[in-house]
Structure formats: C-alpha cells, structure tokens
Amino acid sequence: MFYLLVVLHVIVCVFLVIVVLLQQGKSADLAGAFGGQGSQTAFGPRGAANLLTRLTTWCAIIFMLTSIGLTILMQKRTGGHSVLEGTKATQSVPAKK
C-alpha cells in the first residue's frame, strides 16, 4: 500500500508540474504586454475554467491527499517517537547569591 501511494504521488507530482507549465498566463496576450487588461475588474478578466485549470485543481487535491496519506502511513510504519527522545534531560540549578 505504501509503495503504491508513493508511485501515485510521484506520478501526480510530475503531471502537476507539466500541467502548470502548459497554462497560459493571465496577461500573456498582446493587450497585457502594453498594460491593458480588457476589463474593469480588480484582478483582470476571468474566463470560464478550461480543461487545464480543472486538471490543475484535481492534481493539487490528489497531491495533498497523497501527501497526508504518506505522512500517516510513515507515522504508523516507523512508530511515533519524539525528536528529543535520545537526549539527556538536564536540570538547571539556581544561581547562588
């Protein structure tokens, strides 16, 4: 189960990088080069979500879920322990007056 989740996580990571790099920027057209946004909205024109934006959203959701799943599986696999488990506890002595 762990290795299947790792493979799925790596595939989703690579696919997410590719999908994000394929997307066109918000102001990548000719009007954006000269400062024109083509709309009076605060953050520029917002078109309908196309296939790439939906793929990006779903890849991000799957990436987060696999990250949480891997964290839970690693916690169960290695057993819960503290980072400070092997250190010696020192007690401070109050200063003499």
Residue 6 lies in a domain: yes
Range of the domain at 56: 1-20+51-75
Indicate whether 10 pLDDT > 90.
yes
Count of structural domains within the chain: 1
Residue 43 lies in a domain: no
Cα–Cα distance between 34 and 83 in angstroms, integer? 54
pLDDT in tens, 27-64: 555 555 565 555 555 555 555 568 888 889 999 999 99
Q: Nearest CA to 31 among 39, 43, 21?
A: 39
Between the CA of residue 41 and those of 36, 59, 70, what are the distances in Å? 12, 28, 41
Residue 63 lies in a domain: yes
Please tell me the least confidently modeled range out of 4-13, 19-28, 51-60: 19-28
- Quick one: tokens of 57? 């959203």
